[in-house]
Amino acid sequence: MRFGARGLGEAVTGKVGVFSSGLWRLRAKVAALTGRQPERRWFSARDLAAVAGWGHKPTARRARASARAAGLPYLAIEDGFFRSITPGETETSVSHVCDAEGVYYDARGPSALERLVAARAADPAAAGIAAAPALDAMRRLKLSKYNLFDAGPEALAPLERARGGVALVVDQTFGDAAVEGAGADAATFRAMLVAAAEENPVATIVLRTHPETRSGRRSGFFGSAAIAAAAAASPALAEARAQGRLIALDAAVAPMDLFACVARVYVVSSQMGFEALVAERPVVCFGRAFYAGWGLTDDRAPPTGRRMAAPLAALAAAAFVDYARYFDPETGAPCGMIHALERLADRRDRHFR
The CATH number for 196's domain is 3.40.50
- Confirm whether 129 is domain-assigned: no
What spatial distance separates the first Cα and last Cα of the chain, rounded to whole Å? 44
Q: Domain range holding 220?
A: 153-303
The verdict on residue 72 lying in a domain is yes
Nearest to 201 by CA among 170, 227, 238: 238
Say if 227 falls within a structural domain: yes
Cross-strand partners of 37: 15
233 and 327, same structural domain?
no
29 compared with 9, residue with greater pLDDT: 29
- Is the same domain home to 178 and 281? yes
Across the chain, what does the average pLDDT equal?
Answer: 93
Q: Do 49 and 24 contact (CB within 8 A), yes or no?
A: no
**310 domain residue, yes or no:** no
* 171 and 299, same domain (yes or no): yes
| H or E, element range at 40 | strand 37-40
Same domain flag for 282 and 160: yes
Distance CA 244, CA 206 (A): 11
| Domain-located, residue 52 | yes
* 272 & 188 share domain: yes
Q: Give a yes or no: residue 170 inside a domain.
A: yes
Is 170 found in the same domain as 290? yes
Same domain, 163 and 289: yes
Distances in Å between the alpha carbon of 283 and those of 94, 116, 296?
27, 22, 8
Domain tally, the chain: 2
Same domain, yes or no, for 82 and 211?
A: no
Q: Residue 299, Cβ neighbours under 10 Å: how many? A: 19
pLDDT tens digits along 317-348: 999 999 999 999 999 999 999 999 999 999 98
Looking at residue 353, what is its pLDDT?
64
Q: Please, what sign has the CA dihedral across residues 118, 123, 127, 130?
A: negative
Give pLDDT tens digits for 32-77: 999 999 999 998 999 999 999 999 998 899 999 999 999 999 999 9
Pair 201, 279 in one domain:
yes
Q: What is the pLDDT of residues 200-257, one digit of tens each?
A: 999 999 999 988 888 778 899 999 999 999 999 999 999 999 999 999 999 889 999 9
Task: Tell whether 3 is covered by a domain.
Answer: no
Q: Are 93 and 32 found together in one domain?
A: yes
Beta bridge partners of 324: 97
Which residues are within 8 A (CB) of 173 and not within 5 positions of it... i.e. 6 or more apart?
210, 212, 213, 218, 219, 220, 221
Residue of 68, 72, 70, 57 whose CA lies nearest to 20: 57
What is the pTM assigned to this prediction? Answer: 0.93
Question: In 46-182, at which residue ranges do the beta strands (DSSP E only) sit?
Answer: 50-54, 74-79, 95-99, 166-170
Does a structural domain hold residue 80? yes
**86 and 168 share a domain?**
no
Pair 293, 171 in one domain: yes
Q: How far apart are CA 135 and CA 85, in angstroms?
A: 19
- Going by C-alpha positions, the residue among 234, 163, 236, 256 that lies closest to residue 204 is 163
